[in-house]
Amino acid sequence: MSSPARFHTLPAGQEVQQSIMAPEWNTVFAPSVQFVRLLWCDAAGIRRCRVVPRRKLELACKHGIGMAYACMWLPAWGDRCIEDPAGVPVGEMRLAPDVTAARTLPWMPSHGMALVTMCEQHEPWDCCPRTALQRVVDKAQKDFSLTFQLGFELEFYLLRPHKQADGSGSGSGGNSGGSGSSRGGLPPPIDTSNYCHSGALDAAAAVLGEMCATLSALGVVVEQLHPESGPGQFEIAMGPAAPQQAADSLLFAMEAVAAVARKHGLLASFLPKLFKGAAASGQHCHFSVWQAGTNLLQHEPRPAPAAAGMLPTPPRIFKLAGSSDPALPGLDPTGEAFLAGVLRHLPALMTFTSPSPNSFRRQAPHCWAGAYQCYGPHNREAALRLCSNPGDLAAANAELKAFDATCNPHLAAAAMIVAGLQGVREGLNLPPPVELDPGSLTDTQRRAAGIRQLPATLEEAIEAYDSDKGFQAALVDAFGTPTLPRAFMAVRRSEWQHLKGMTLEEEAELLCARY
């Protein structure tokens, strides 16, 4: 993607004709479009929009649409100002629609949607998430000639909204998960099936098929889809793309999945943890690191451990590059250093990638959520899983498990890249890979192997962030402002203070429709 867009300014003396749009917008939007949704994602990970009539789009491009700075920092628990100078109700940014991230909505052809660049004084605002991500990507290219590919796994529950008092209500086919509020007041899931159950796919085939067709119409590549482990839970895996395009596509995909579900009388919820005893939903981020056309994460397969249950070797914790052989055969030193940076800063990074109190209800051992600070090839209990395809080394990538739908995808991706670049700057090595379930070890065995449990609450993640001064400084340098990370963390503290006393049932009932 090109550098962040500035306001479109007409030549001096040229009148703006409200009934005529610039040619590029006529190319993007179908003639049926009458309204344009200006979409953004705030620091709480909530997708929000303002709407302008199509005839006003040219004016919106020229002047932007005014919105208070404080609106970027609204917490998920309610539309309240945070306790930070950025949260005061004074001053405003301008929302400028981006023609490169605009689509006609297949489920509502009278509406178009465009992601925005948040601007001030006709320049991108320092705290604009999309601008922040692009700055980080540009810095990686300038400093290290590195580029990236990102892809996301979109997990969600399909729920049946409660019937109205008069007995009316809508739903779709499939095995009913019950009705009423038997699950803590939440709408029940559409079925009671389990992982990859073919019957669950058949029951939801109509809605899933329309979701995939809609994503395709929006330019979002679908790699796979399947029923997940939870009742009424599904996953759609998206194809890889450059960071800005990948994060943009994720927001489009979430809008599409939610809208198609509503069309079928269902509620799609991406909230990490909905039901006690049922699988949680992640938004695992797969990434690869490239330099001069080479995938720096490609590596040779390791032989299987000599004995089942073999303990990890004693760790070499983040030593300087060049001090020993690669952690995995064939792994490029720069690729290894990037992975080591992500792993080293992961406790603090989680405030960006798993940023809500609800996120940490998902981060439990034995749940394939990556509860321990370790990595391993094809290890689904490791926080950082290395993935590869037999015979295709260039397809290698890393999967960050601690990533979910309560994050702002642009800021989360930017923070992840910043953490990795810190590893490259410091020339870090990875510790040895972990090739068993770290949760199966005793505390003594984990300590001996250098395996630490990741933060178990948002409060612990905030403490990790406050202690990681190097990561904080790197964020300020990469974003070009201290305001963005400071205000972002103020949102995290607000959410912890207001939600920490809630039960899962209370929290899920409050948030299930917001995510």
The angle subtended at Cα 486 by Cα 510 and Cα 461, nearest 5°, is 60
List all residues 6 or more positions away from 327 whose beta carbon is below 8 Å from its beta carbon. Answer: 336, 429, 430, 431, 432, 433
Beta pairing partners, 452: 373
For residue 437, pLDDT over 60 is answered with: yes
Place of tokens 């940014």: 93
**285 in Cβ contact with 152 (< 8 Å):** yes
For residue 316, pLDDT over 60 is answered with: no
Confidence of residue 425 (pLDDT cuts 50, 70, 90): very high
Q: 153-269: CATH homologous superfamily? A: Glutamine synthetase/guanido kinase, catalytic domain (3.30.590.10)
For residue 108, pLDDT over 70 is answered with: yes
For residue 173, pLDDT over 70 is answered with: no
pTM over 0.85: yes
Give the span between the Cα atoms of 144 and 335, in whole angstroms: 11
**Which pLDDT score is estimated for 160?**
93
SS3 108: coil
Tens of pLDDT, residues 334-387:
999 999 999 999 999 999 999 999 999 998 888 888 899 999 988 898 999 999
- Residue spans of the domains in the chain: they are 24-32+49-66+90-125, 136-145+309-511, 153-269
Chain center to CA of 333: 27
Task: Tell me which of 87 and 275 has the higher pLDDT.
Answer: 275
**Which pLDDT score is estimated for 317?**
53
First to last CA, the chain: 27
Task: Tell me which of 10 and 140 has the higher pLDDT.
Answer: 140
Q: What element of type H or E holds 31?
A: none
* Residues in the chain, total: 515
The CA distances from residue 160 to 72, 163, 262, 267, 512, in Å, are 31, 9, 10, 6, 12
Give the span between the Cα atoms of 441 and 431, in whole angstroms: 17
Give the span between the Cα atoms of 160 and 300, in whole angstroms: 46
Confidence of residue 81 (pLDDT cuts 50, 70, 90): confident
Give the span between the Cα atoms of 49 and 68, in whole angstroms: 13
Q: What element of type H or E holds 198?
A: helix 198-203
For residue 197, pLDDT over 50 is answered with: yes
Tokens coding 42: 């705030």
Q: Once rounded to an integer, what is the mean pLDDT over residues 157-178?
A: 54
Q: What element of type H or E holds 206?
A: helix 205-217
- Closest among 162, 195, 157 to 178, alpha carbons compared: 162
What's the fold here for domain 136-145+309-511?
Creatine Kinase; Chain A, domain 2 (3.30.590)
Confidence of residue 80 (pLDDT cuts 50, 70, 90): confident
Beta-strand ranges (E) seen in 228-364 are 233-238, 267-269, 285-291, 294-295
**Which pLDDT score is estimated for 449?**
85
Give the span between the Cα atoms of 312 and 392, in whole angstroms: 27
Task: Tell me which of 429 and 23 has the higher pLDDT.
Answer: 429
Q: Once rounded to an integer, what is the mean pLDDT over residues 296-305?
A: 74
Confidence of residue 24 (pLDDT cuts 50, 70, 90): confident
**Which pLDDT score is estimated for 313?**
59
Give the span between the Cα atoms of 142 and 145, in whole angstroms: 6
What is the residue-averaged pLDDT of the chain? Answer: 87
Tens of pLDDT, residues 227-261:
888 999 999 999 999 999 999 999 999 999 999 99
List all residues 6 or more positions away from 164 whose beta carbon is below 8 Å from its beta carbon. Answer: none
Are domains 136-145+309-511 and 153-269 of this chain identical in fold? yes
Tens of pLDDT, residues 383-394:
999 998 877 877
Beta pairing partners, 68: 92
Percent of the chain exceeding pLDDT 70 equals 87
Q: Once rounded to an integer, what is the mean pLDDT over residues 116-125?
A: 91
Q: For the CA atoms of 200, 201, 207, 212, what is the dihedral angle to 10 degrees?
A: 150
